[in-house]
Structure 1
Amino acid sequence: MSRVSIITGGAGGMGLATAKIVGQDHTLVLCDVRQDRLDTAAAALSDLGITATAVNCDVTDRSAVVRLFETASGIGPIASVIHTAGVSPSMGDAEYVNTTNALGTLNVNEVFFAAAREGSAIVNVASMASHMLPEELVPTKHFDLAFTDEKRFLAELLAACDIAGEEMRSGLAYSVSKTFVRWYSSSQAERFNSRGLRIVSVSPGSVDTEMGLLEADAGAGAMVANAAVPRWGKAEEMAELFAFCASDRAGYLTGTDILNDGGVIASMRERARQAAENA
């Protein structure tokens, strides 16, 4: 039977770019919340000779995610999941951002843990924004609530955004929710390994996709200009890393986050260090 790879957000820029790589040697199950985008993505893959099973799925709905994995398992053994589904600050309010990015990640990963076979891997997409958030603003002590009380978990994430003004709440929610993605991908590594599974997160910087460019006027453009590599990242560059992390070639890689941001965070930290020395 064919080895199956599930790509959530598979109709988006990074998801589709990843599908073009992973689809070369895996059977694809493409998941997205918008059917029109799914149809377009499946057609684009078909033009490349890659067949994908398209599943309309809202990752914030646990039952829908279960059905997604049931569909994939019916095709063949699940070898990997690349979880790119998520939203940016410009796409909704703080509650929507937290629910999609944090709860969506929890749902996909927990169903993967229950359904995948030994040797499988999941790659979660975090963000360089999570590396910019001061630790004192991260409600880490409440992250465990995700496993016992999802309603209170989301309420605590939203409460953590109260320090921001209304215009900044979605941006802070994005950073908080993506920090949860990184925390989950690290904290659950031992549990996942107990079933022979790997879990990794990747934190992209500013990427030249439809969603990424939504943030061009919200500071991302300025950060790109001041990065060690002063340009926007390409979806294909992220996709190559996702595909590698999910592959058997990365069999020793688990419980960590890979920052792929063109050196933005490194540049910011070094400039801050120099400024402090010269103060």
Structure 2
Amino acid sequence: MGLATAKVAGRDHTVVLCDNRQERLDAAAAALKDLGVTHTAVNCDVTDRRAVEQLFETATGLGTVASVIHAAGVSPSMGGADYIIRTNALGTLNVGEVFCATAAEGAAIVNVASMAAHMLPDEIVPTAEFPLALQDETAFMAAMMSACSVAPEEARSGLAYALSKCFVRWYSSAQAERFNSRGLRIVSVSPGSVDTEMGRLEEQAGAGAMVTDAAVPRWGTPEEMAELFAFCASDKAGYLTGTDILNDGGVVASMRERARVAAQNS
């Protein structure tokens, strides 16, 4: 999704690519070169605040930062609960905080959340603990691990993923006023099942079954997500901030309506 968005944004912007897997970064850079997109590739681990600061130093050295599409993240099949929370939640925090501190007025950041963030009951989401991420990362991680412990060991990575994406939604809403005080916008987009390497990995873990229950019963494409991400980051969406856009082919809507009908008929 990040590469697809870089292709869209690269039509009229210089692009800075970021990844922590060098072979994937090289492949993305080659794809942009073939399209004639001006780009710079930076190997960066978003869980490392100093590395993120260096990434932005590189970007600002090339010109004014107009937008950031933060698509870095890992899924339940890619690691344990601690790794998932650190990458998805604290990675979002690091990118967002450095963006807020360095971006020029008028810039926007789009964080990639997930439809999973729309599926958890509110009572098991430790929203009251989310602000700890900005104050005490150790306490935040302890609170998130405690929240994950309600699930059986084999289900904790999945719960951690959903909780981490709930944090992305929360951060992109709760910090909007602070970002706006610097003339910046922040939004999140929650994709459904998208036909990517990571998406297909989760298909093998069972998540792909939800596609058949969607109002649009197919996988989303990276290009469909990219056009939305790029629009949200553009001047055309200048009034859009502090909110999340669910782009899931109707999965959540279908599930909620079916649950309502089932409860009505029970």
Corresponding position: 1:137 with 2:121:
no
For the residues of structure 2 that align with 1:222 and 1:230, how far apart are their CA atoms?
Answer: 10
How many residue pairs get aligned? The number is: 266
Structure 2 counterpart of 1:86:
73
Supply the AA of the counterpart residue of 1:137.
Answer: I
Post-superposition Cα deviations, 1:11-65, rounded to whole Å, max 9, x if no partner, equal: xxx0000010000100000000011111111011100111210000000000000
**Counterpart for residue 202 of structure 1:** 189
Q: Is residue 239 of structure 1 aligned with residue 226 of structure 2?
A: yes
2:138 pairs, out of 146, 151, 154, with 151
Give the aligned partner of residue 98 of structure 1: 85
Is 1:110 the counterpart of 2:69? The answer is no
Of 234, 241, 259, 1:254 maps to 241
Counterpart in 2 of 1:3? none
Distance 1:227 1:22 in 2: 29
| 1:196-221 C-alpha deviation (Å, 9 max, x unpaired) | 00000000000000011111033322
Aligned partner letter, 1:44: A
Task: Say whether 1:190 aligns with 2:181.
Answer: no
**Alignment partner of 1:217 is 2:209:** no
SS in 2 for 1:152: helix
Q: Which residue is 1:65 aligned to?
A: 52
Q: Which amino acid is the alignment partner of residue 183 of structure 2?
A: G
What SS is found at the alignment partner of 1:215? helix
Distance (Å, rounded) in 2 between the aligned partners of 1:158 and 1:82: 27
Q: One-letter code of the match for 1:64? A: A
CA deviations on 1:160-218 (whole Å, 9 max, x unpaired) are 00011111000000000000000000000001000000000000000000011111033
For 1:230, the aligned partner's letter is P
Q: Is the 8 A contact 1:42 1:51 kept in 2?
A: no
The sequence identity of aligned pairs, in percent, is 76
Counterpart of 2:6 (choices 6, 19, 30) is 19
Q: Given the alignment, which residue of 107, 115, 127 partners 1:128?
A: 115
CA–CA distance in 2 between the matches of 1:217 and 1:46? 33
TM-score (norm 1): 0.95
Coordinate RMSD, CA, aligned: 0.6
User: Secondary structure, in 3 states, of the residue corresponding to 2:193?
Assistant: coil
Alpha-carbon displacement from aligned partner over 1:231-265 (angstroms, at most 9, x marks no partner)? 00000000000000000000000000000000000
Helix, strand or coil at the partner of 2:66: strand
Rounded to whole Å, the distance in 2 between the matches of 1:84 and 1:243 is: 12
- Mapped to 1, the partners of 2:66 and 2:25 lie a distance apart of 22
CA contact (8 A) 1:106 1:146 kept: yes
Instruction: Provide the C-alpha distance between the structure 2 equivalents of 1:77 and 1:221, rounded to a whole number of angstroms.
Output: 40
Aligned-partner Cα distance in 1 for 2:205–2:125: 21
TM-score, length-scaled by structure 2: 0.99
Q: Is the 8 A contact 1:198 1:253 kept in 2?
A: yes
Report which stretch shifted further, 263-272 or 159-168.
159-168
Aligned AA for 1:48? L
